[in-house]
Structures are given as C-alpha cells and as structure tokens.
Structure 1
C-alpha cells in the first residue's frame, strides 16, 4: 500500500459514494471539511448509501482505518461512534484508538482510527472451526476470551447492541472490541440483569445450536470478569428471544438483496446467490442445463434431475425441479418452487449448525408472478449414505454414533421434520452426518404438529433395517421417542 495520497485516484464526495452502491471505485480520495485529503486504498465493508469502511492513508501518509458515514443520518451515527469509542477507552476496554473525527467536505462525516497491521477478526478464526464437534477444545480456547471481554464491558456498566464475532479484533495476542456506534452506558455499576442477558445471549446465538450443553467454559470465562452475571432463567429467556429474532432476520435475507445474498428479479427469471459466490457461479447460473448435460447424472426422475457438475475443478451439485405435465405446472404456478423451499431450509439448517451441503444459488423460471422450473446449486458432498455404510448387524462406529445423536437431538429440539428420512438421505463425510434432499423439510410451530411429523420421520428411518437387527435396536433406543 502506498504511504502517500495519490493524485491519480479520483476525488469523490459523500453523494458520489452513495450513488456508487456496493462498489465504489477504490482507490479514491475524499476531502475533509478542513481541506485535508484521505486516500482509501482498500475497501473492507460497504453498506450501500450508508457507510464505507476501508484501509487508507491520511494527509501525513499514516495508515488508518477509515470509516465514512455518507447516509442521511450520518451525523448521528458518527457522533455515536465517537462517543462509543470514548466509553470503551475510558473503561479500559481494548479498542483501536480514535485518531480523528471530522465532517467531510460537501456532506457526510469521517472517522479515523489506528490501523492494526496484521489484525483479523474472531470470525476469521472461528470459520475454520465452525464445523468441528460441539464444545471442541480448540474452538472453546478461541472463543473464551471474547466472553471474558464482554464480562469486562458489562462490569463497567456498558452494553453493546451488535455483538458478533466480526466485531472482535485479534492483534498481537490481544482481543479488541470494535463498533463504537453500538456501545451504550447504563450507569456506573455492573449492567442490569436484563440488558446483560440480552448481550450475552446475542454472543451465544452466534454459535450453532448444537453447542447447547457445551457452554459451561464460555460462561465461566464471562463470570470471571463480571461480578453480577445474569441468572440462568434470564439468560434462557434472552437466548430464546435472540435466536427467534436471528432466525427470522436471516431467513428474510435469503429472499432479498443484502450483504449476504445477491438477488436479481426479471420478468422471465429470478436468481438468488450467496454474494461471495456470485462472480464464480455466473456462467453456471446463466446456463444450468448445459452444465447438467455435461455433468455426472446422479438422479433422473419425473420431478427432479440431479447432476454433479464441475466448475473450474470445483465439484458442485445442480438439482433441477422439473414440471411433469400441464396439470403439475398449474399446481406450481402460484406457490414457491421446491427449489426455493430447499434453498431456504438449507440456510435454516446452516443457522442451526446442522450439517447439510451449503446451498449456493437458486434460479427460478418466472412469467411475472408465475413460477416454473427451478435449479438449486449446492456444494458437493462426497460422503457415503448410511444405507450403504452401516452394518445392520452392529452398532454404528463411535464417531458416526455421536454425530447421529447430535443431529437428531438438534432437529427434535428445533421441531424440524425432514419428510423423507430414508438412510440414503444421510451421508457420512468422515466428520459429520450430512442431511440432504430438503424438499419437504419443515420447522413446526406447534409441538403437536411436530410430534406427528417426527413419528413418521422416525418410522421411515427405522424401516431401512430389519426390526430384529442390532442397528435397528440401537437407533430405536437412541432416537428421540415418538410421542
């Protein structure tokens, strides 16, 4: 990165950044109200029309983390960010030092903090471990300092309204808390139980639900630094509320253009894709049938065709949801496609921490509001299905037994039914049991409805093996009971 402002970079203002959407033309210059200029060399985060965050240099050539507030309410957020950084610093909570805060020339506001070379986020450290077993020792060691730091925040009478792993920075062996805009003061003593429970629940909700029952070490780290932790009942209520909100929020994002997902709506088709995959999958989404025809056919049926395809050496699965006949077409016109249902439910399982091949993109044929065929693109799972893998005359190997126990306990606790729970829809990949074929999966609102659906799922799974065999008896004893 250059250490001096570049005259060749275009000079932009807040209006130009707002109109640039998600892709401002970095590098660019921006002028502060006092006349000095900043250069942003690298964009780190863009909230279209609201905020641009990047790595840059100030007028003295010093590297800075630059946050530009460009929206209609820029001054309010800028002031709260400045105040929050001040509150953290005054309480001795590690956070990048505030260097400068000034209005921008022509509108908007800028804020500069110390640039921490080599820093990454707690999220960066967590992502390689997210698929590990619940309570994994390495993951616990990684996460415990964040809970201890949150305890210090609460003990100082502060709260944080946006706690997620991306708001914790790791640098030179230290953990720092960022996003001063979300920091609030609540008096001089330890935080009230309700607010502390809300914050703690927010952080716990970042973990897969399979971690329930493996949280003692993390909560102990929090209690070591907060002399007045919330009680179990208050935390349980807050965690239930936070998880319900997070699920609604996340599932709503799967159907709209946002930071996580890119959506394109046209009269004749609709496309949804994980934003980070949009460029990579562009050719496949433009002609999914060409890739199916050139791929390895896994299933050819009246209602769906499934193929393993190769995209620049990367194996993927494309599932096309067919229309059988005119009557079938009429029955599907107004309803969300089965592809849409699988796309949404795959992301639901992802949030629950249930292993399933990651859904990457969806394409639907449209005629205005009317829907036709659909194509779902997912990661490829090279695992072996349990019907082929398991021996009816013996219990599952310990690793598979533990994975099955966790899988079904999680599904049952979240009131999720699969709808076609045959053994060929469960794949062992060497580390986890992956659940596939989510066309009829459902999360039930009522215990009664779930009990009926789970009884059918349970019976369907057990029918894969003779009732008098060892494996059948082992599963029957360990699966959640039918009501």
Structure 2
C-alpha cells in the first residue's frame, strides 16, 4: 500500500498491512501490526516493524499532512535539543502527494501515566499511590517549563514510563516561548491549568499540596493559587463544552448518525451491541422487567448479549403531546447529554450507552435511551432501617455529603430528588432519571432550584423522624455552605 492510500482507509483498516516508505537508504515496507490511534483520513499511529526493527509509526496523510509532519518533527527536535527524554526518532520523511511519516523506537514494556492513574484512581483521594503518579507527572512538566517548553495537549497519556525513565511524547503539541530559558509565569499558569483541569474535581482541595512536586523541580516563579484556579476553571469549562459536543457528533469516542428518519448516538466502543439493542428495543422492553409503563415513559430492565441493561422509552401520549415535543430535543437526548455531563464532572450515574430519536420528515417522535444497570438499592430501601433511629452508617452519610457538595459546586439541579432516583453503588450515591437535570449559569437561578431539590429530598422521610432530623441538619440549606473551588 502506498502511504496516500491510507487517506481512504477509514477508521479501522485491517492489520497487519504493509506501507511502502522511502528514506535515504532506499525504499522499504513498513509492516504495521497494530493500530493505537486513528484519526480517519489524517493520522494513523501504530506499532510495526521497519527494516527488521520494532517501531512506533506515525503516518500522516490528507491535505494537512505536511503541516502536521512539520509540527511533529519540530516538537521532537525541541525536546531533544533541551536534553529532555523522548523516544528516539529513527527515520522520517515527507513526500508530496503521499504524506509524512515518523518512526520512533518502540518502548516495550511501557506504561503511560494515564494507565498508572487508572490503576490507583479508585483509592482514597490523594492516597500515596495517587500522589506518586501525579507527582511524577508534575516533575516532568516542571522540567519542560524550566527549559522553556510546554505541552499544548498536556495529559497523563503523553508521559510514558519505560526503562526506568519517564518519556515525553507527542511532539506535535510541544511549543517553545524561548527554548532554553524558563517559561514566563503567565504561560506556566496557563499550562498547569490544563493539567489540573483534567484531574477529578475531588482533588481540587489538594492543588497546593500537589504543586510542591512541581516547585521542587522548578521554583522559578511563585504560583498564586487563585490565579491558577482561574485557569483551571477556564480550561475545565472548555473541556466540558468540547466533550458534550463530541457526544453529539461522529468522532473517536462516539458513533453518531443523523438522517430524516432519526438520530442515533452510541459510545463507539459499544456500537455493535448497542445497534442491535436499539433495533429491537421495544421487543426487549416487552420481554424485560417493567419498572414503569404507559404515560410519558416506559422503563424496563432487559437482558441483551449476556448483560443487564436499562432501556427507557419516551412515549408520545397523544397529538397534543406530540405538538409540544416534536420541535425540540427529546428528553432522551437531554438525559444522554446530562449523564455525560455528570460523568465528566465525577458525579456517579449509570453509564449512558446509546440513544435513539425517531423522526418523520425530520420531526421528532418517540425516543429510547440505553444505560448500564445499577444493582444497588435506592436510598429509600437502603435507609429504611434507620428511619426512627437515624443511625445511618457514617460512610453512607459522607457519600451523601460528597454528592451534594458536587451538585452545589457545579450548580447542578436534578429536578426530582425522590429517593427512588438515588442508588447506592460501589460506595457512592448515583443519580438516575435525569430528564429534568440542569446546570445553571447563575447562582441565583441555581439557588431556587437547589432549594426545591433539597425540599423534595427531605420529603422522602416522615417529618419528625430521627432520620429526617439528621438530614435536615446535614444537607446544606444555603449555597454559602459549599463554595465553588
């Protein structure tokens, strides 16, 4: 295969495949064995063999190939020139009409700090193992900044552990203000804002503690926490907006199709099984365990491909109901976006897997939402034994504190906090039924919605009961009791 042919290879070309490349030593085939990352028609990254040596190949095609190649090559050279550890570039080339390619030494075995973080993410907040991963990352970032470099696309997967060293990768994102001289403070704060914005919100109170790792490697500037937090908030807001936009378009994470007959969105890693579930959704609902039927929605627990899932069908009750619904996004779509919003913000909710809106001549009709099934009990069932005593296990109360703190921090109102919409799952309280969920732009708007949520939540238990009294004292009544980070 010629390099240019990759432009039409799509998202999942069959491997292994041979790509003909030419360097100073002549023409040879790169045998591409696996694909690690694909941007269809533009970038193909994978492991392979070149002239008998294992390599990591970056193949760049399409009309932007030349620009992407130059940026990648420039970034690699910047890292090398400043003595920063990065995989050795073995060969590269750019050919008009074909594209560009860069072949790096293949690190094996290798672990990204992103993978290392996933292995310890479940531990208590800022456990020693978590601190070790983040500290190693911050020390590497500090060394880059000390050399005048910064990584535009700064995240843990761009830092690799191998051979007892930490390697910096992705030259395309490496930038320099003035190579060899420490970055100015403003640039440092901007780049650290990118780093901290990607960490779980629960780590926000520990920013100062984590910064010690950075300052031990680079103490060139004092770093005001308030200024850093402004950058973190700015980047996090942008990342949330970008992520939710991706949930509605065809991309690496999501498979999305739109046509006159409807809209379908699925997590790409679940696309094949979810396509079958959506195709037979009504039959699966009829054969499943019904939680709610008739009216505006039908909810069922179903079995599909050996998994237990939940399908919620949003019905059209009559012509008047249709007139109210056809012109705006369905409640299924609202819940799809709301669930991804919660997941991004670290608030527990069943994983949304797929959504489907049916349309006739572009006008919306019924819709379906598929999510994971949570086995845990709801809060009514879980706390029934404590209604009169109020002796709820402290870990469960702390988990409730964390939930309300997160909702207040992010200005999110649920809209229907009855007890059957909170489930105990893996040590956390998870929210379901997100049809009315909203993230508020202003404190005033949120205050009124939060007051309604709190009042509805407390009504789950009899007035005068010990449990009701405990929760009235425990659940914050005013926004000032929990501040945004």
- TM-score calculated relative to the size of structure 2: 0.93
Alpha-carbon distance in 1 for matches of 2:292, 2:123? 31
Could you tell me whether the CA contact under 8 Å between 1:32 and 1:105 is conserved in 2?
A: no
TM superposition shift of 1:131: 4.9
Secondary structure at the counterpart of residue 96 of structure 1: coil
Could you tell me whether the CA contact under 8 Å between 2:197 and 2:233 is conserved in 1?
A: no
Pick one of 193, 198, 207 that aligns with 1:206.
198
Could you tell me whether the CA contact under 8 Å between 1:363 and 1:375 is conserved in 2?
A: yes
2:468 matches 1:472: yes
Pick one of 9, 12, 28 that aligns with 2:2.
12
TM superposition shift of 1:68: 0.6
TM superposition shift of 1:418: 0.3
Task: Sort the Cα spacing of 1:30 and 1:408 in 2 relative to 1 into closer, same or farther, 3 A.
Answer: same
2:317 matches 1:324: yes
TM superposition shift of 1:401: 1.4
1:4 alignment partner in structure 2: none
Alpha-carbon distance in 1 for matches of 2:403, 2:324? 34
Greater shift, 165-174 or 256-265, is seen at 165-174
Alpha-carbon distance in 1 for matches of 2:118, 2:433? 25
- TM-score calculated relative to the size of structure 1: 0.93
Greater shift, 65-74 or 307-316, is seen at 307-316
Alpha-carbon distance in 1 for matches of 2:136, 2:183? 19
**RMSD of equivalent CA atoms:** 1.7
Pick one of 26, 34, 37 that aligns with 2:15.
26
1:79 alignment partner in structure 2: 70
Could you tell me whether the CA contact under 8 Å between 2:3 and 2:21 is conserved in 1?
A: no
Q: Which runs of 5+ in 2 are unaligned?
A: 480-485
Pick one of 143, 149, 152 that aligns with 1:161.
152
Could you tell me whether the CA contact under 8 Å between 1:267 and 1:368 is conserved in 2?
A: yes
Q: Which runs of 5+ in 1 are unaligned?
A: 1-10
Could you tell me whether the CA contact under 8 Å between 1:45 and 1:52 is conserved in 2?
A: yes
Greater shift, 182-191 or 132-141, is seen at 132-141
Could you tell me whether the CA contact under 8 Å between 1:420 and 1:440 is conserved in 2?
A: yes
Could you tell me whether the CA contact under 8 Å between 1:31 and 1:104 is conserved in 2?
A: no
2:254 matches 1:261: yes
Secondary structure at the counterpart of residue 55 of structure 1: strand
2:184 alignment partner in structure 1: 192
Could you tell me whether the CA contact under 8 Å between 1:13 and 1:106 is conserved in 2?
A: no
Listed one character per residue, the Cα deviations across residues 162-196 of structure 1 (whole Å, up to 9, x for unaligned) are 01222222224433221111111122322112211
Listed one character per residue, the Cα deviations across residues 238-266 of structure 1 (whole Å, up to 9, x for unaligned) are 11110111111111111111111001123
Greater shift, 72-81 or 168-177, is seen at 168-177
2:63 matches 1:67: no
Could you tell me whether the CA contact under 8 Å between 2:261 and 2:362 is conserved in 1?
A: no
2:416 matches 1:413: no
Greater shift, 292-301 or 149-158, is seen at 292-301
Alpha-carbon distance in 2 for matches of 1:128, 1:315? 26
TM superposition shift of 1:427: 0.7
2:315 matches 1:298: no
2:43 matches 1:43: no
Could you tell me whether the CA contact under 8 Å between 1:304 and 1:322 is conserved in 2?
A: yes
Pick one of 139, 146, 159 that aligns with 2:137.
146
TM superposition shift of 1:361: 0.7
Q: Would you say how many aligned residue pairs link Structure 1 and Structure 2?
A: 471
Secondary structure at the counterpart of residue 205 of structure 2: coil
Secondary structure at the counterpart of residue 408 of structure 1: helix
Secondary structure at the counterpart of residue 375 of structure 1: strand
